A and B are shown apart, each in its own frame.
Chain A
Amino acid sequence: MTDETEQSKEGADFRIRRATAEHLQDVIDLDARITGQPKPEFWQDIYDRYATRRVDQRFFLVAEKEGRPGILGLIAGEVRGWEFGSQPCGWVFAVSVDPEVRQRGIGEALFKEMCNEFRRAGMTTVRTMVRRQNPLHMSFFRSEGMMAGPYTQLEMNLDEG
């Protein structure tokens, strides 16, 4: 997918395309509506880094519908590699769908397009990290076929260490 190319999912009434500057406010608004926490600086930074630089390995996609204000959903990811010896792979670090239009295949279409981008970048594996207690994200990625991988997330409380 190029910056200018739009893609329509067959039989669907929405399209997926790379995020542009005109989508930024829509992204901020959607995230604020879902999380209840507006993060304009965070999304500006994500946009700057993932939609404008190294765009052959960084992907920030949105789903939108003709004539409908705002975006239906978004997904962001990049090619990452060599962390603790990991071969380069695709990493998804954000996915959101407007609660009003969920269960219509938008999240799945965004994820599939992201996987296609990773394939085009030469990747054979896609990874993500989600909160175990978030059944929405856990169930979504599971239903797309993702399973536990060879890496485990660890953390510690710095005040106790």
Chain B
Amino acid sequence: MQKSSRLAIYALIELASNPERQISAAEIGAKYRVSAHHLAKVLLTLGREGWVQSIRGVGGGYSFTGNAKRLTLFDIISVFEDTNTSCKLDDPSEATDEEWVLFDVSNEINDIAMSTYSSISIATLLKQVERRKKVAMRDAAAQDA
């Protein structure tokens, strides 16, 4: 997964976790240790997709406008990169059995990756973040005891 896709997902998680709040690119950038400039470019793309909106002025920032239950990782990643990462056959009519076999393996891996990305929504990621926090708190409490 490319860096822009990762940043887009982090930004969407951040914004969707509190859709009422306006959050600046600098604030999100600080949390994920990335430049606000790079993030602003990503947020512009997310705005074009209708997943975030920006509000200018004092107290302004970005807010989530998508549907967290419907918006999947695949939707987001496919905006920033080519999702068909399997090896390519330059000319299928000329391809050898060996090339076809490697092509099939590569397709198999790509298919698993894409169906996984398609099945995970922003809402699911938010639930996973909450679960992780709970486990961490439980582990910390167990260590203290």
Contacts and interface: CB of A to CB of B under 8 A. Distances in A.
B115 A132 contact: yes
Contact of A135 (B118, B127, B131): B118
Given A132-B112, A138-B115, A138-B118, A145 B131 contact: yes
Interface residues of B, number: 14
Contacts of B119: 135, 138-139, 142
Contact of B120 (A132, A133, A142): A142
A148 interface: yes
Given A139-B121, A142-B120, A143-B121, A133 B115 contact: yes
Given A135-B118, A135-B119, A142 B124 contact: yes
Contacts of A133: 115
A148 B120 CA distance: 12
Interface in B96-144: 111-112, 115-116, 118-121, 123-124, 127-128, 131
B100 to A, nearest CB: 13
A139 B128 CA distance: 13
Interface of A: 132-133, 135, 138-139, 142-143, 145, 148
Interface of B: 72, 111-112, 115-116, 118-121, 123-124, 127-128, 131
